Structure 1
């Protein structure tokens, strides 16, 4: 079964944009969109520049391929998030440089800037790093789900990268970009030998209230 043109085109364009931005080197990373009975996901091993909507793969939430093609090796990660978080309509996984560097230290991003509240309620305490598990495994999928909990929309994956979810693909894309921005700011402070002053829960709650729904990648 071929992908529906609008959703497939949106997913391919998003993958190419992240690839061009350096977020998915060497064919790494993957994106998906939920559909009525599963999800549409980028294929395994295909360069994003060469990808078309026809190359995308439809999977059930159990990972069963519905049609042709070979889904991303991280299909279990996407399926587990969709099962655990019914509000998630899109999942984006990247290997963006700065956030991945922090993940290699298994270091969370602390609440250094109010934009961290875009990751959800859990973001007020920082963006965590999930415990390590081998890529492409159900163990990795479950560690990511555990780190995300009930309300967080982004987490680092130990020695691996970033995953974010959203109510829209645009929202998930905005969030992975913001995680990379926050990681860059945090690493710049550490490289300069400057200890960041972390925002308090009260300060973050006030900022979240001020932001409201403006620009929120839900």
Structure 2
């Protein structure tokens, strides 16, 4: 039997799924991961434990919902397909039932701008989509709406979705959002925390953008970007 196409991406999906579980970000087979390919995506199969998964088990699926392989795609293939079809800024969609994000989601509560790191999801907050049954088009539609202008959202009574350019960035963002969710849950034990202003969150996002280009933060309008010394 010939080797499956996109072998490195298939192995990357398996590796990140196993990392999700070993890190405590996910449990059992409840999460799923996809990666963009030409005309479609690679996605985890349904109901297969990650430690048993092999590259040939990863399902190749077109945006028209046709698929190839020996397994059926994840039951959540619709929102993976719709996100990758509509969000050309993302290559990876990662979904987990991480504990603190899901704790907020079961209360239909998003993550407000109580901490500046909320900006890692691309905006001033992390929204929670309304509840819809898993695997449905309704859930996918709600997820797309909650992700507008964002790279993460919660799903009501369900879990977390993050988008990213690559596997490493997806794992980083999922952990960051889960930590934020944990901090917010703990902060709520004292009372609803105060919010940062929209203007301050906009400033934070600009700082993050600058630093992603290797520049120093702009402190009070002073350009203090580090510069290499002239070497003779």
User: TM-score, with normalisation over the residues of structure 2?
Assistant: 0.86
Q: CA-atom RMSD, angstroms?
A: 1.6
Give 1:163 shift. 0.6
Question: Which 5+ residue runs of structure 2 have no aligned equivalent?
Answer: 214-232
More helix by share: 1
Alignment of 1:1-40 (within 5 A): 2-40=4-42
- My pick for the range that moved more, 15-24 or 166-175, is 166-175
Partner of 2:98 in structure 1? 96
**Structure of greater Rg:** 2
Checking the alignment, whether the CA contact within 8 Å between 2:56 and 2:70 is kept in structure 1 is no
Give 1:178 shift. 1.1
Query: Aligned residue pairs: how many?
Result: 211
- Superposed CA offset, 1:146-185 (max 9, x none): 1112x21111000000011112222222211111011000
Give 1:24 shift. 2.1
- Superposed CA offset, 1:82-127 (max 9, x none): 122122211000000000010000001011111111111xx21x11
Give 1:215 shift. 6.0
The runs of at least 4 consecutive aligned structure 1 residues that moved more than 3 Å come to 213-216
Separation in 1, partners of 2:34, 2:51: 17
Checking the alignment, whether the CA contact within 8 Å between 2:119 and 2:201 is kept in structure 1 is yes
Partner of 1:110 in structure 2? 112
Partner of 2:126 in structure 1? 127
User: Residue 158 and residue 90 in structure 1: after superposition, are their counterparts in 2 closer, same or farther (change >3 A)?
Assistant: same
1:135 is paired with a residue whose SS is: coil
Partner of 1:78 in structure 2? 80
The higher relative CO (CA closer than 8 Å, separation ≥ 6) is in 1
Separation in 1, partners of 2:12, 2:211: 23
- My pick for the range that moved more, 1-10 or 92-101, is 1-10
Checking the alignment, whether the CA contact within 8 Å between 2:91 and 2:166 is kept in structure 1 is yes
2:111 is paired with a residue whose SS is: coil
Alignment counterpart, residue 69 of structure 1, candidates 68, 71, 84? 71
Give 1:59 shift. 0.4
Partner of 1:145 in structure 2? 144
Question: Which 5+ residue runs of structure 1 have no aligned equivalent?
Answer: none
2:65 is paired with a residue whose SS is: coil
Alignment counterpart, residue 183 of structure 1, candidates 178, 181, 184? 181
Separation in 2, partners of 1:215, 1:32: 25
Checking the alignment, whether the CA contact within 8 Å between 1:3 and 1:56 is kept in structure 2 is no
Partner of 1:201 in structure 2? 198
Give 1:212 shift. 2.1
Separation in 2, partners of 1:208, 1:34: 26
Checking the alignment, whether the CA contact within 8 Å between 2:56 and 2:69 is kept in structure 1 is no
